[in-house]
């Protein structure tokens, strides 16, 4: 059974991962299918070094894993349920965004 501390830790890790737009894009891409870092960098239009730093953060957060494939590593979500969680969050964000923008919320100190 999960303790409150471990539940809070999991949410904090997820929040830290989602705090950066590139990490969000990586997670959404991996939600569709596993990918190699070079393919992710090309698809997202970021340097491989920058992508590597973001993948390290996502690994440290426990959200993605590197699966060795020969001499390369393929990245995938650490748990398939993360894909469902991302879908749920995307839906919630779209519902909130239709009411007001995050910039408006920032001005009011809400975001």
| Residues 30-40: tens digit of each pLDDT | 999 999 999 99
Global pTM reads 0.78
Q: How far apart are CA 71 and CA 73, in angstroms?
A: 7
- Give the number of domains in the chain: 1
Q: Is the pLDDT of residue 108 over 50?
A: no
Mean of pLDDT values over 76-88:
92
Q: Is the pLDDT of residue 84 over 80?
A: yes
User: If you write DSSP's letter for every residue of 23-65 in order, what string do you get?
Assistant: HHHHHHHHHH--B-HHHHHHHHT--HHHHHHHHHHHHHTTSEE
Among 97, 94, 82, which residue's Cα sits nearest to residue 27? 82
Local structure of 111: helix, strand or coil: coil
Question: Is residue 109 a part of any domain in this protein?
Answer: no
- Domain span at residue 12 reads 4-79
The whole-chain average pLDDT of the chain stands at: 85
Q: How far is CA 77 from the centre of its chain?
A: 9
Question: Is residue 18 a part of any domain in this protein?
Answer: yes
């Amino acid at each position: 059974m999960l303790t409150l501390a471990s539940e809070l830790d999991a949410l904090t890790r997820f929040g830290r991962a989602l705090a950066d737009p590139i990490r969000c894009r990586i997670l959404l891409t991996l939600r569709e299918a596993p990918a190699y870092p070079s393919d992710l960098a090309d698809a997202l239009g970021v340097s491989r070094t920058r992508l590597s730093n973001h993948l390290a953060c996502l690994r440290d957060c426990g959200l993605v894993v590197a699966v060795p494939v020969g001499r390369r590593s393929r990245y995938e979500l650490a748990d398939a349920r993360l894909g469902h969680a991302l879908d749920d969050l995307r839906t919630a964000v779209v519902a909130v965004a239709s009411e007001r923008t995050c910039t408006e919320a920032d001005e009011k100190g809400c975001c």
